[in-house]
Amino acid sequence: MKKYQLGEFEEVVMLTVGVLFNEAYGVSIKKEIENRLDRSVSVGALQTALKRLEEKGYLKSREGESNQERAGRPKKYFQITALGREAMYFTRQTREELWNSIPEVAWKLKLT
């Protein structure tokens, strides 16, 4: 059943990598998430998630250019793999199925 496992934060990271497309590296992903979702992301949490996703094969990375701002260290760009795309799609699909299965009556009930 658990064919593709993707945690909530992992899903956010995957989506953000997708949004940034060719520009997805540590700092840009962090900023993007912080801007869009209005939540603070620590470098540690982000990097752990990225490493895990890469190990699972959902992301792949390549070394990029460097600049003075980074004291000569190269950027590490991330890209979604085919497997990653499938996993994201799977997650989305299961969500949609769940959404669709909610009966109309459920929304009409006043919750207050």
Partner 1 sequence: MQKEIKPPRLFLQFFRWFCSEELLDSIEGDLVELYHERLKKEGELKADIKFIWDVLLLFRPGIIGIKNKEYKTNHIDMFRNNLKIARRTLWKNKTSTVINMLGLSIGITSCLLIALFINHEMSYDTFQPNAKRIGRVVMEYSFLGSEESEKGTFTSTKVAPVFSSTFPEVEKGIRMSKSAAILQLQGSPVTEPDFMYADSTFFDAFAFTMVQGNAKTALNGPNKVVLTESMAKKYYGDSDPVGQGLEIGEDKTMYEVTGVMEDYPYNSQFRFDFLASFSSLGQNQNNTYWNANYTTYLLLQDQNSFGSLAEKIPPFMEKESAEIGANVNFTLEPFDRVHLHSPYSDFVPNTSIDYLYMLAGVAFLILVIVCFTYINLSTAKSVERAKEVGIRKVSGAEPSQLFWQFIGESFLLSGLSVLVSIVLVYLFLPGFNNLINRQLQLDDLLSPVFIGFALSLVLMLSLIAGAYPALILSRFQPMKVLKGVFKNTDSAKWLQQSLTVFQFGISVFLIIATLIVQGQLNFIQSRDLGYDREHIVSFPVGWSTDFQKVNTLKKELKSNSQILEVSRTGSSPVSIYSGYSMNLPTRPENEVIAVNGNPVDENFIQVTGLELLAGSNFTEQQVRQTYSEGDDDLTFNYIITESAAAKFGWSPEEAVGKEMILNDQGTVVGVIKDFHFQSLRNDIQPLVLFTASWGGRLLVKINGENIPETLDFIEKTWNKVLPEMPYSYKFLDEDYTRMYQSEMQLGKIMNLFSTIAIILACLGLFGLSSYLIQQRLKEVSIRKVLGASTFQILNILSGSFVRLVFLAILIASPIAYWAMSLWLDDFVFHISAPWWAVAVAAGVTLAIGLLTSGVHGIKAALSNPVKNLKSE
Angstrom distance (rounded) from CA 59 to CA 50 = 8
Burial of 14 per CB tally in 10 Å (0-12, 13-18, 19+): buried
Question: Shortest approach of partner 1 to residue 68 CB, angstroms?
Answer: 9
Rule CB under 8 A: which residues touch partner 1?
25-27, 30, 42-45, 47-48, 51-52, 63, 66, 69-71, 73-76
Residue (39 or 110) nearer to partner 1, CB: 39
- Smaller CB separation from partner 1, 43 or 82: 43
